[in-house]
Amino acid sequence: MAMADSPEAVVIAGATTSPRADSDLNHTLRRRPSASPVAESDSLNDLVRDSGVDDSVGAKIGGGGDNGRIGGSDGSAESVNAVQDKKGLGENDRSGDPSAVKFAYRPSVPAHRRVKESPLSSDAIFRQSHAGLINLCIVVLVAVNSRLIIENLMKYGWLIKTGFWFSSRSLRDWPLFMCGLTLPIFPLAAFVVEKLVQQKCISEAAVVSLHIVITTTSILYPVVVILRCDSAVLFGVALMLFACIVWLKLVSYVHTNYDMRALHKAVEKGDATPSSLNTEYPHSNNLKNLAYFMVAPTLCYQTSYPRTACVRKGWVFRQLVKLIIFTGVMGFIVEQYINPIVKNSKHPLKGDWLYAIERVLKLSVPNLYVWLCMFYCFFHLWLNILAELLCFGDREFYKDWWNAKTVEEYWRMWNMPVHKWMVRHIYFPCLRHGVPKGVAIIIAFLVSAVFHELCIAVPCHIFKLWAFIGIMFQVPLVLITNYLQNKFRNSMVGNMIFWFIFCILGQPMCLLLYYHDLMNRKGKLD
């Protein structure tokens, strides 16, 4: 039937109808054969639910009784007749029975039977499907960005040069390339130290000292090479990222072996029970495991990892194609949009504040696109490709960080390899040594801030601490968004603050600051 007001509502709501008419109609409906008992039961369930009948009545509807019986002997006779009237009247209505139409569309049938919220109200908005609105946003984004691309090409022309991909200056960066090739020496040195302590050739204090020297040298060596060579910023950033990954993996390798060594000694003394973790220790620490760990898409060392059965070659090829496409999209946005905006801007902290705000807002959209493409290329495509080639099973490289309601949730979900490393080797060790939880969180942010500053300031040869300040500024934001989340339950206030800080204010401002400082440095050198 086309109308939502159903005949059973007349009976349930207590509307006055003729008992004889109801009896005759029900008698007629009961003689009507059912095509499928199960289908009839399902339709009855739907009719009861849609018509607003109490859930207890709907729960008593059985699956496939003879003659349209309702399952459960304690069912209400009125509800039974009402549901059967609904089904029968629907058929009569389609056949054009005037008496059925006259009975169904009574003015006394209640139109409002339950308390309901509007679909876009704050209590119901996240329980609704918004697929249509998402499609609308996609259409609007495509239309708006297509216009911007055409407008940009008409105004500036094609700005991408061949030097973006390869230039003669790239050949002068061979010291950085050689530095990257020699970084595996440090994991090999750490492995030798671990073998020496296993054979009891050196003391535990000597092991700690040697590992401190090895890990410190592994991060200072690339820093010295980059600072001594006037190389391209992009190559410097790539080398520093590689060096930071090696350092994080070395710390995890050393820390894990130290813990397994302590457990092994405790088992020998009888202070701990044997477990699979410590009984494997002397035999699991081999060069093959270390080599696999150094190339695996994880920062946390362990003797074995969950593995997949095979490599899907077709899947890998498709992901590689996507990686090439999105890398090209990033290059296009950087060269065609971000570079002209940055070059035509002034220092955001020197000059007209309105002009600086306009530049930051204009830069925020292309910067957001590049950031999202970077996330998709690295965390989804590249790490999954690497995991597939190595049959690495645990591929939770990120969670749904875009739904984070607080800044703390975002940092826990957007970069899972680093988050797991921080929890395993910074946060919990601090708690085990009696450090308060708040201080442990600050220490974790401090370590993250130092590495962010290294990856940006060293390649730029600028130490203004903009990246360090930006990361440490997350600590008060964590407190603010946690307070808002506790005060306004089930709200997205924290999520809005996160998107505003990261995509509109934080990253564009940091980009402008580093660009102008870099240009000032080059001007002084010239």
**DSSP string for residues in 297-324:** S-SS--S---B-S---HHHHHHHHHHHH
8 Å CB contact between 414 and 349: no
8 Å CB contact between 394 and 305: yes
Query: What is the pLDDT at residue 83?
Result: 43
Distance CA 428, CA 448 (A): 16
Long-range contacts of 447-453 (CB under 8 A, 24+ apart): 447/422, 448/418, 448/422, 451/244
Angle of CA points 76, 48, 132, to nearest 5°: 165
Residue whose C-alpha is closest to residue 325's, from 317, 314, 313? 317
Question: DSSP letters along 320-341, please?
Answer: HHHHHHHHHHHHHHIIIIIHHH
Distance CA 183, CA 219 (A): 9
Distance CA 260, CA 289 (A): 15
Q: Is 452 a catalytic residue?
A: yes
Query: What is the pLDDT at residue 387?
Result: 93
- With respect to residue 233, please indicate whether it lies within any of the assigned structural domains: yes
204 residue type, one letter = E
pLDDT by 10s per residue, the chain, length 526: 444 444 333 333 334 444 444 444 344 434 444 444 434 444 444 443 444 444 443 333 334 444 433 334 344 444 444 444 444 444 444 445 666 666 666 777 788 888 888 887 877 777 777 778 888 888 988 888 888 788 878 877 777 765 555 555 555 667 888 888 899 999 999 999 988 888 888 888 888 999 999 999 999 999 998 888 877 778 888 889 999 999 999 999 999 988 888 887 777 776 666 665 555 666 667 888 899 999 999 999 988 889 998 899 999 999 999 999 998 888 888 888 887 777 777 766 666 677 777 777 777 888 888 888 989 999 999 999 999 999 998 899 999 888 888 888 888 888 899 999 999 999 999 999 889 988 999 999 999 999 988 888 888 888 888 888 888 888 888 888 888 888 877 667 777 877 877 777 777 777 777 777 776 666 555 5
Question: Half-sphere exposure of residue 266, counting CA atoms within 13 Å on the CB side?
Answer: 13
- With respect to residue 114, please indicate whether it lies within any of the assigned structural domains: no
- With respect to residue 151, please indicate whether it lies within any of the assigned structural domains: no
- 3-state SS assignment for residue 52: coil
Count of other CB atoms within 10 angstroms of residue 96: 8
Q: Is 78 exposed, middle or buried (0-12, 13-18, 19+ CB in 10 A)?
A: middle
Active-site pick, 347, 452, 461, 516:
452
Dig out the tokens for 464 from the structure: 């203004």
- With respect to residue 288, please indicate whether it lies within any of the assigned structural domains: yes
Distance CA 323, CA 399 (A): 20
- 3-state SS assignment for residue 17: coil
**pTM recorded for the entire structure:** 0.70
DSSP letter (8 states) at residue 74 = T
Report the domain count for the chain.
Answer: 1
Distance CA 118, CA 132 (A): 17
Query: What is the pLDDT at residue 22?
Result: 43
- With respect to residue 196, please indicate whether it lies within any of the assigned structural domains: yes
Distance CA 58, CA 80 (A): 10
Long-range contacts of 20-29 (CB under 8 A, 24+ apart): 21/103, 22/81, 22/85, 25/85, 25/88, 25/89, 25/103, 26/81, 26/84, 26/85, 28/88, 29/68, 29/84, 29/85, 29/87, 29/88
- With respect to residue 52, please indicate whether it lies within any of the assigned structural domains: no
Long-range contacts of 459-463 (CB under 8 A, 24+ apart): 459/226, 459/231, 459/233, 459/234, 459/235, 459/236, 459/237, 459/239, 459/240, 460/233, 460/236, 460/514, 460/517, 460/518, 460/521, 461/227, 461/518, 461/521, 462/514, 462/517, 462/518, 462/521
Distance CA 55, CA 496 (A): 38
* Dihedrals phi, psi of 49, to nearest 5 degrees: -65, -45
Q: Which domain holds residue 271?
A: 176-295
Dig out the tokens for 135 from the structure: 């499609």
8 Å CB contact between 77 and 60: no
Distance CA 353, CA 376 (A): 34
- With respect to residue 238, please indicate whether it lies within any of the assigned structural domains: yes
Cα Dmax for the chain = 104
- With respect to residue 468, please indicate whether it lies within any of the assigned structural domains: no
